[in-house]
Amino acid sequence: MSDDNLDFSASLTLGDFVTDIDCAISLQGCTGLFGASGAGKSTLIRLIAGFLQPSRGRISYRGAVWYDRVAGVFTPAYKRGVGVVFQDARLFPHLTVEKNLLYADRRSDCSRYGFDEIADAFDLSSLFARLPSSLSGGERQRVALARTLLTRPDLLLLDEPLSALDAKRKAAILPYLDDLPKRFGAPVIYVSHNVDEIVRLASRTIILKHGRIEAEGATADVLNAHGDDAQGVIVTGVIAGHDDHYSLTRIDVGAGALALPINKNKTVGETVNLRIDARSVVLARSPLDGLSIRNHLPATIRAIATNDERASFVDVLLDAQGIALRAQVTREAADVLGLAPGGNVYALVKSASFDF
Amino acid sequence: MSLPDISAFWLTLRLAMVVTVILLFIATPLAYALAVMRSRVKPAIEAVVALPLVLPPTVLGFYLLLVFNPSAPLGGFWVSMTGDTLAFSFAGLVVASVLYSLPFAVQPLQAAFEAVSGELTEAAASLRAAPLDAFLTIVAPLSLRGFLTAAVLSFAHTLGEFGVVLMVGGNIPGETRVVSIAIYEHVETLQYAQAHGLSALLLIFSFVVLIFVYLFNRRAPLHVGR
Distances (CA, A) of B176 to A306, B1, B9, B10, B172: 91, 19, 11, 11, 5
The most distant pair of C-alpha atoms in chain A lies apart, rounded to whole Å, by 71
Measured between CB atoms, does A283 come within 8 Å of chain B? Answer: no
Mean pLDDT of B135-141: 94
Nearest chain B alpha carbon to A148:
B127
Q: Are B202 and B159 in contact (CB under 8 A)?
A: yes
Cβ <8 Å between B126 and A131: no
Cα separation values, A332 from A310, A313, A314, A329, A339, Å = 11, 8, 9, 8, 10
Asked if A90 and B122 come within 8 Å (Cβ–Cβ), the reply is: yes
A-to-B residue pairs, Cβ atoms closer than 8 angstroms: 73
Handedness of CA A277, A280, A286, A288 (dihedral sign): negative
- Does pLDDT of A152 surpass 80? yes
Asked if pLDDT for residue B226 goes beyond 70, the answer is no
Mean pLDDT of chain B: 89
Torsion over CA: A177, A178, A183, A189 (sign): positive
Are B167 and B65 spatial neighbours (Cβ–Cβ below 8 Å)? yes
Q: Tell me the nearest-neighbour CA distance from A66 into chain B, angstroms.
A: 14
Q: Residue B176: which pLDDT band, with cuts at 50, 70 and 90?
A: confident
Of A77-81, A264-268, A299-303, the one with minimum mean pLDDT is A264-268
Q: pLDDT category, B124, cuts 50, 70, 90?
A: very high
Confidence of residue A261 (pLDDT cuts 50, 70, 90): confident
Spatial CA neighbour of A20 closest among A8, A28, A34:
A8
Q: Which A-chain residues 38-67 have CB contacts (< 8 A) with chain B?
A: 49-51
CA–CA dist B161, B102 (Å, integer)? 13
Burial category of B83 from C-beta neighbours within 10 Å (exposed 0-12, middle 13-18, buried 19 and up): exposed
Cβ contacts of B131 on chain A, cutoff 8 Å: 76, 78
A103 vs B129: CB contact, 8 Å cut-off? yes
Record: contact B223-A51, CB cut-off 8 A = no
* Residue A262: other Cβ atoms inside 10 A: 15
The pLDDT-based confidence of B33 (bands split at 50, 70, 90) is very high
Burial code of A82-94, b = ≥16 C-beta within 10 A, e = fewer? Answer: bbbbbbbbbbbbb
Which of A103, A108, A131 comes nearest B226 by C-beta? A131
Q: Do B123 and A86 touch (CB under 8 A)?
A: yes
For A190-211, give the secondary structure using H, E and C: EEECCHHHHHHHCCEEEEEECC
Is the pLDDT at A350 greater than 90? The verdict is no
Residues of chain B with Cβ-Cβ distance to A103 below 8 Å are 124, 127, 129, 137
pLDDT bucket at B170, cuts 50 / 70 / 90: confident
Helix H or strand E encompassing A301: strand A295-305
Residues of A in contact with B122 (CB under 8 A): 49, 51, 77, 84, 86, 90
Across the range B35-47, mean pLDDT stands at 91
Question: Residue A223 half-sphere exposure, CB side, CA atoms within 13 Å?
Answer: 31
Which residue of B123, B134, B141 is in closest CB contact with A90?
Answer: B123
Q: Among A251, A198, A202, which Cα is nearest to A227's?
A: A198
pLDDT of the residue at A353 = 52
Q: Please compute the mean of the pLDDT values over residues A125-151 and round it to a whole number.
A: 93
Contacts for A322 with CB less than 8 Å, ≥ 6 apart = A254, A255
pLDDT band at B224 (very low <50, low <70, confident <90, very high): very low
Quote the pLDDT of residue A1: 39
Please give the mean pLDDT across all residues of chain A.
87
- CB contact (8 A) between residue A82 and residue B126: yes
**Which residues touch B6 (CB under 8 Å, ≥6 apart)?**
none
Of A88, A95, A108, the CB nearest to B225: A95
| Whether A103 and B122 lie within 8 Å, measured CB to CB | no
pLDDT in tens, B106-119: 999 999 999 988 89
What is the least distance, in Å, from the CA of B77 to any CA of chain A?
40
Q: Report the pLDDT averaged over residues A75-85.
A: 94
Cβ density class A305-325: b for 16+ within 10 Å, e for less: eeeeeeeebbbbbbebeebeb
pLDDT at A294 over 50: yes
Residues A155-182: pLDDT tens digits? 999 999 988 888 888 888 888 888 888 8
**Percentage, residues of chain B above pLDDT 70:** 96
Q: How far is A312 from chain B (nearest CA, A)?
A: 48
Tell me: pLDDT of A86 over 80. yes
- CA of A48 vs chain B CAs: smallest distance (Å): 11
Query: A227 in helix, strand or coil?
Result: coil
Instruction: Establish if B119 touches chain A: CB-CB under 8 angstroms.
Output: yes
B125 touching A (Cβ < 8 Å): yes
Q: What local confidence, expressed as pLDDT, does residue B29 receive?
A: 96
Whether the per-residue pLDDT at A354 is higher than 80: the answer is: no
Model pLDDT for residues B53-92, shown as the tens digit of each residue: 999 999 999 999 999 988 888 888 888 888 888 888 899 9
Please report, rounded to a whole number, the percentage of residues in chain A having pLDDT higher than 90: 31
Give the separation between CA A131 and CA B147, rounded to whole angstroms: 23
Top mean pLDDT of A158-162, A248-252, A310-314 is at A158-162
**Using CB atoms and an 8 Å cut-off, which of residues 145-174 of chain A contact chain B?**
147-148, 151
Q: What is the pLDDT of residues A92-107, one digit of tens each?
A: 999 999 999 999 999 9
In chain B, alpha helices (H) = 3-36, 42-54, 57-68, 73-82, 90-116, 119-126, 131-134, 140-142, 144-159, 163-168, 179-188, 192-219
Q: What is the DSSP letter of A270?
A: -
Summarised one tens digit per residue, pLDDT across range A24-61 is 888 888 999 998 888 888 889 999 999 998 988 999 99
Query: One-letter amino acid identity for A277?
Result: D
Q: Which of A172, A171, A176 is nearest to A158 (CA)?
A: A176
Question: If pLDDT is split at 50, 70 and 90, which confidence band does A236 have?
Answer: confident
Model confidence band, residue B223 (pLDDT cutoffs 50, 70, 90): very low
Test B119 with A90 for CB contact under 8 angstroms. Answer: yes
Averaged pLDDT, A311-315: 87
Q: Which amino acid is at A238?
A: V
Give the pLDDT confidence of B13-27 residue by residue, as tens digits: 999 999 999 999 999
